[in-house]
Amino acid sequence: MSARRQTGADRAPMRSIDVVSATTLADLLRQMSHTSTQGRALGCAFELLERMVDDPRVTIFMGAAGSLAAAGQALILRWFVDRGFVDVLVATGANISEDLVEALGLRMIRRPPDMDDRSLRDAGYNRLYDVCVTERDYIRMTEVIADFMSTRGVGGIVSAAAARGVPIFSPALLDSAYGDAALLTHRRGLTFTIDAVQDHVEFMSVDVDETAAVYLGGGVPKDFIQTFAVSTDFLRGVPDVLRRRGARRRGTLERVSCAHKYSVQITADAPQWGGSSGASLAEGVSWGKQAPGPLAVDCYCDLTIALPFLAHALAQAHPRRRANRNFGLDYNGSRLGPTSSRGGLHGP
């Protein structure tokens, strides 16, 4: 970039962190945004999240990869939903099932990651890096799902989303305890079909204008949310998508994309391996997934470090609940116009 094209932000001086004046986590992260490397990225991620939640035009998509519950982050994910900081949640099956272990009054147990796995197996434990859950408790969680008990009474992420009218999409749902639950119900004589195509159609039909994306990890949830920016015209047609703010035609092709206005990515993966989880947000500009410009932040950091910092800082800086968009989806897939949510019950 030439000197003449540099912005004022590009020429801003680095500033050292003042321990005395940073009295809250929000203060600290704002100061970190003026430093360097991933501390700066984390601070910038916080400032961009603030812009997202303050922008009344945007619909916030959150992608949650891996199993946040196994890392002690499930209540934080639920907090984002409860506070209205998520409008649409795209999650792995693990993220909307394994939080039930704690919600049911069961527990995951901290263990050293180098503990002998054969001993754990013989004692009836399943290991997730440095925590374990007994096979008995994991089966109990699976049976809750198989019995189709309402998770609203258990206090999980799904119940929080139902209470706030936040739709959840899980493109790889069966790669989790839900898959085992489906096998249990099949053995009991109750057969059903999860229609992945209809789920995809419903996801691409979500009525929005401008969008923002928060990627907690990468994987399928990240790619699914990015696809929303570039594939809705296949379903809704070019003229319909062109009505959205920020829509752009794809060269001379009869295609149109509507890139996410804001994006924050927290990942421990790296871009040079070529996978989606580590790919920079800038890479998505060429596809039309991400709007060009400064409203995208890649933070290469352990999510179990970054997420608590970001959530607690947001709680300090934005104590009032955001009125999330309520799409009015019911169990049969019927759709009402989006409204702001006041906490009524929606969904199954």
Q: What is the pLDDT of residues 13-65, one digit of tens each?
A: 899 999 999 899 999 999 999 999 999 999 999 999 999 999 999 999 999 99
Any domain includes 345 = no
pLDDT surpasses 80 at 163: yes
Count H helices, E strands: the chain?
13, 13
Closest to 52 in 3D by CA, of 214, 288, 222, 247 = 214
Q: For 32-49, give one letter per residue: b (16+ CB within 10 A) or e.
A: bbbbeebbbbbbbbbbbb
* Cβ-defined contacts of 45-49 (< 8 Å, 24+): 45/264, 45/266, 45/297, 45/299, 45/306, 45/310, 46/309, 46/310, 46/313, 46/314, 48/262, 48/264, 48/295, 48/296, 48/297, 49/85, 49/214, 49/264, 49/310, 49/314
Any domain includes 348 = no
**Is 289 part of the annotated catalytic residue set?**
yes
Average pLDDT in the chain? 85
pLDDT surpasses 50 at 280: yes
**Residue 261 belongs to domain spanning:** 3-340
Instruction: Output the domain CATH number for residue 317.
Output: 3.40.910.10
What is the per-residue pLDDT for 154? 61
Any domain includes 240 = yes
Looking at per-residue confidence, does 201 or 98 come out higher?
201
Any domain includes 197 = yes
Pull the structure tokens for residue 205.
């039909």
pLDDT tens string 243-270: 898 888 887 777 888 999 999 999 999 8
Any domain includes 347 = no
Any domain includes 321 = yes
The count of domains in the chain is 1
Looking at per-residue confidence, does 337 or 172 come out higher?
172
Closest to 324 in 3D by CA, of 308, 310, 338 = 338
Any domain includes 346 = no
CA distance 314 to 79: 11
CA distance 129 to 116: 12
pLDDT tens string 129-139: 888 888 888 88
pLDDT surpasses 50 at 292: yes
One of 222, 289, 322, 346 is an active-site residue; which one? 289
What is the per-residue pLDDT for 148? 54
Q: The pTM is what? A: 0.83
